[in-house]
């Protein structure tokens, strides 16, 4: 019986910490180093997969944009960012888009996008940056698991919040990101009308996907390591896509209070746990991993999410 009081104390402690961090927003929201300057990216033509040459030209244009940003970062004295950008300009990086401003945005392709009949879009959570190797390696692992005829698009298209920040407990960043995600997914759907599209949304990225869900022409929406979506039920997301949810046994996010607290400037928390029965998502086995392990090669979670992308039921559902 002692476990229940401890559980309640943990929830109260976490909730108090979330509230305390949210109260700091007006005074601490502008803190942090200034963004490294970067040039305004040249406008790109709408995505077209009609000819391989068009996609190759887009990759080349974005490689040039990365190199231009690298020169400015180096001149600014941020040699770490410059090194990241030099690596991104390598032939092994194929970027559908790039913008080096305000921390940086990019969309990277893994697999053969031109011939893909199944396309997964990865939407990351907190603390994902241009130099986040785990995000890129996870995308590569998913594409390898899927095999031929597939592509994975690693969409770093928004200003992700820091994990230990008020921004990670409120929907503001997600509300900013949702129109950008919806526009991108619609562009992909137009360019590849015969492909099955799946959205895979990690942690705070699941809040982004939920905000955009009603505007996304996707077959499946996968929420993993999610703190909640802001919706009380999967049906409230306004999507015809099949909604899946999974959480690893060692994921610390299971201990985040699933609350929505009204504040003077918005809301704190994201409500119903997506793996709870009352949310109404289809549940897949995510194995024993922690918060950063979902796309680890050989994992149960990677295997099951690949099956969902392929239009199959998870093996352990």
Report d(CA 187, CA 97) in Å as an integer. 12
CB neighbour list of residue 125: distance below 8 Å, 6 or more residues apart = 160, 202, 203, 204, 205, 206, 225
User: Helix (H, G, I), strand (E, B), or coil: what is residue 156?
Assistant: strand
pLDDT at 316: 61
* Residue 98 near residue 111, CB atoms below 8 Å: no
Q: What are phi and psi of 209, to 5 degrees?
A: -65, -40
pLDDT average, residue stretch 91-117: 96
207 phi and psi angles, rounded to 5 deg: -70, -40
Whether the model pTM is above 0.85: yes
Query: What's 315's DSSP letter?
Result: T
Contact call for residues 125 and 93 (beta carbons, < 8 A): no
Q: What is the pLDDT of residue 267?
A: 86
* pLDDT at residue 181, as a whole number: 98
Backbone angles phi, psi at 54, to 5 degrees: -65, -40
Residue 75 CB burial class (10 angstroms; 0-12, 13-18, ≥19): exposed
Q: Are strands 118-123 and 150-156 parallel, antiparallel or unpaired?
A: parallel
- Between CA 69 and CA 74 the distance in angstroms is 9
pLDDT at 65: 97
Residue 315 has pLDDT above 90, yes or no: no
DSSP 256: S
Nearest Cα to 296, choosing from 202, 160, 206, 198?
A: 202
Please state the rounded mean pLDDT for residues 254-273.
89
Alpha helices, DSSP H only, in the chain? 3-23, 25-28, 52-76, 79-88, 133-146, 172-191, 204-212, 300-309
pLDDT in tens, 43-87: 999 999 988 799 999 999 999 999 999 999 999 999 999 999 999
Q: What is the pLDDT of residues 204-260, one digit of tens each?
A: 999 999 999 999 999 999 999 999 999 999 999 999 999 999 999 999 999 999 999
Going by C-alpha positions, the residue among 226, 232, 214 that lies closest to residue 283 is: 226
Q: Region 31-48: what's the mean pLDDT?
A: 79
Question: Mean pLDDT throughout 280-289?
Answer: 98
């Amino acid at each position: 019986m002692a476990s229940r009081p401890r559980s309640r104390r943990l929830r109260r402690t976490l909730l108090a910490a979330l509230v305390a961090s949210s109260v700091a927003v007006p005074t601490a929201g502008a803190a942090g180093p200034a963004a490294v300057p970067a040039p305004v990216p040249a406008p790109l033509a709408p995505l077209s997969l009609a000819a391989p040459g068009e996609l190759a030209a887009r990759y080349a244009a974005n490689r040039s944009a990365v190199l231009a940003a690298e020169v400015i970062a180096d001149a600014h004295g941020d040699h770490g960012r410059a090194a990241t950008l030099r690596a991104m300009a390598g032939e092994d990086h194929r970027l559908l888009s790039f913008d080096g401003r305000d921390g940086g945005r990019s969309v990277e392709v893994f697999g053969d996008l031109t011939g893909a009949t199944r396309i997964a879009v990865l939407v990351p959570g907190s603390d994902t940056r241009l130099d986040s190797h785990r995000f890129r390696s996870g995308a590569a692992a998913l594409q390898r698991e899927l095999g031929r005829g597939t592509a994975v698009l690693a969409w770093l298209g928004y200003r992700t919040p820091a994990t230990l920040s008020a921004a990670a407990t409120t929907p503001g960043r997600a509300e900013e990101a949702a129109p950008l995600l919806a526009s991108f997914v619609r562009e992909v759907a137009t360019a590849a009308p015969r492909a099955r599209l799946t959205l895979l949304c990690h942690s705070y990225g699941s809040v982004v996907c939920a905000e955009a869900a009603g505007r996304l022409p996707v077959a499946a929406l996968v929420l993993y390591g999610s703190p909640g979506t802001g919706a009380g039920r999967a049906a409230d997301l306004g999507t015809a896509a099949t909604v899946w949810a999974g959480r690893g046994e060692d994921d610390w996010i299971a201990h985040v209070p699933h609350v929505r607290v009204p504040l003077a400037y918005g809301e704190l928390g994201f409500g119903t746990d997506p793996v709870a029965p009352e949310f109404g998502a289809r549940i897949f086995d995510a194995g024993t991993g922690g918060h950063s392990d979902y796309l680890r090669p050989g994992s149960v979670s990677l295997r099951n999410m690949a099956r969902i992308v392929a239009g199959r039921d998870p093996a352990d559902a």
